[in-house]
Structure 1
Amino acid sequence: MEWPLDNGCYNSLFHMLFRTALSDFFGLIFPQVCLACAEPLARGEDHICTMCRAQLPYTDYHKLPASENPLARRFWGKVPLRHSLSYLRFLRRGRVQHLLHQLKYKGQRDIGLVLGRWYGAELTDQGLATDFDLIVPVPLHPRKLAKRGYNQSDTFAEGLALGLALPWSATALRRTEHTDSQTRKNRTERWKNVAEVFEVAEPAAVTGKRILVVDDVLTTGATLEACAAVLLATGAAELSIATIACAEQ
């Protein structure tokens, strides 16, 4: 036996169809594009098209033992790390560089969230979610944060927190000095530039915790070393690091 739809059902159905039609119309006039290749996204694709996602240069470092992880070797003798992780390889003029440029300078903060969720899901599948208690992003100085409007490392941390089902804190670490850009500095200059510019703003949040410190790009590792050192000095039980991408040496 068929039951007639009441006015409420008809209204709900009408509004659903209207919203779908409106979304399709605006998608036709103002199509969303892949932030890696600028081609239009298909329905269901999330900021990065399926083709680009398949062709991103993944490191798969989370699948390697520490003794075989080239990223882990960069920190040997400098700071004790349980896990040294990076999602993608940074290649000049490639998709990853374009994505990071969009994230840092074009206001596309959702890139950090999306990549963080994807990487967090992979780390969870690998069984690493139980190795961390708290995710902490490398902080920006308040002056730079006000200028950019957001911290790109914080968006990645938030995405990782969603993928790993773990808490994250954007306020546990604080940058006390505004430093010059690291881009054109060598390793020694980078270390001197950040050696004493971080402090733990919330000691109770990190004491006794296994911390995953995250940043956008790892080059020499000086910034992450400085953050790890101050966290360990404050009483963190264990440190790991993760970045969206790392430049090969």
Structure 2
Amino acid sequence: MNFLKNIYELFYPELCACCNNTLTSNELTVCVNCRHDLPLTNFTNEENNLVEKSFYGRIQIETATALFYFFKKGKIQNLIHALKYKNQQQVGTLLGNWLGSELVESNRFSSIDYIIPVPLHKNKLKTRGYNQVSFFGKSMAKILKIPFNETILTRISFTKTQTKKVRFDRWNNVHELFFVEDQKVLENKHILLIDDIITTGATLEACCKAFEKTKNIKISIACMAYTK
């Protein structure tokens, strides 16, 4: 069995999702060199971090964090691109385990009841075949030992890509496009809303607005990366 595996890997080697170099037998998804070079934010235990400040005066949140800084043409862009467009869902698992391990050690995220991903519209989900943050959320939920719910928040209108839009246009493009299927399930609960990249925060803001009618709900945010 190992012989056949070695033959397969000889012709179809596993590549690092960041740099595309061949992974060694002891490496998984990302090579050791890239892992040490990824731009961690260390926001999880930092009050008033840049993610939290970006929502001041817009929505009320409890806490927020992002695992990495996002830079154009950087390794995190390569990593998330592999997850989002190349179906390398093991990237989501890797990042979910990584951030989940941070969250479970932080008292700032100790009261989370549910993890809820920013949803894709059903048309985009059908085209892509998966939500790129599903495995990310499921991995965190497993570590935190709390439910992951990707059906309670739905996207009710298809929009064009948010890429390269100015903040005002992006907000108009997502405003009131999310719907909570069952408000009562989340009453008196603390949810962790998750997404891949925070740029302007317009999509997350729109999601939070959808929960405004939910009684005594608390919302925190966790994302893979934050655009600095």
The interval holding the TM-score normalised by the smaller chain is: over 0.9
Measured on the aligned residues, the alpha-carbon RMSD in Å equals: 1.4
Count of paired positions: 228
Partner residue, 1:29: 11
Partner residue, 1:84: 64
Alignment counterpart, residue 162 of structure 2, candidates 172, 182, 189: 182
Alignment counterpart, residue 102 of structure 1, candidates 75, 79, 82: 82
Kept in 1, the 8 Å contact 2:63–2:109? The answer is no
In structure 1, C-alpha distance between the alignment counterparts of 2:92 and 2:63, rounded to whole Å: 20
Whether 1:215 and 2:209 are equivalent positions in the alignment is no
Q: Percent identity?
A: 37
Q: 2:166 corresponds to which letter in structure 1? A: N
The CA deviation at 1:164 is: 2.2
- Unaligned 5+ runs, structure 1: 1-18
Whether 1:224 and 2:200 are equivalent positions in the alignment is no
Alignment counterpart, residue 193 of structure 1, candidates 135, 154, 173: 173
In structure 1, C-alpha distance between the alignment counterparts of 2:136 and 2:216, rounded to whole Å: 21
In structure 2, C-alpha distance between the alignment counterparts of 1:180 and 1:99, rounded to whole Å: 23
User: Equivalent residues in 2 for 1:140-179 (5 A)?
Assistant: 140-179=120-159
Alignment counterpart, residue 49 of structure 1, candidates 31, 35, 40: 31
Question: What TM-score, normalized to structure 2?
Answer: 0.95
* Larger CA deviation: 167-176 vs 26-35: 26-35
Partner residue, 2:46: 64
Partner residue, 1:3: none
Kept in 1, the 8 Å contact 2:45–2:108? The answer is no
Whether 1:20 and 2:2 are equivalent positions in the alignment is yes
In structure 2, C-alpha distance between the alignment counterparts of 1:236 and 1:213, rounded to whole Å: 16
* Larger CA deviation: 208-217 vs 121-130: 121-130
Kept in 2, the 8 Å contact 1:215–1:242? The answer is yes
Kept in 2, the 8 Å contact 1:135–1:157? The answer is yes
The structure having more radius of gyration, on CA atoms, is 1
Partner residue, 2:220: 240
Q: 1:168 corresponds to which letter in structure 2? A: F
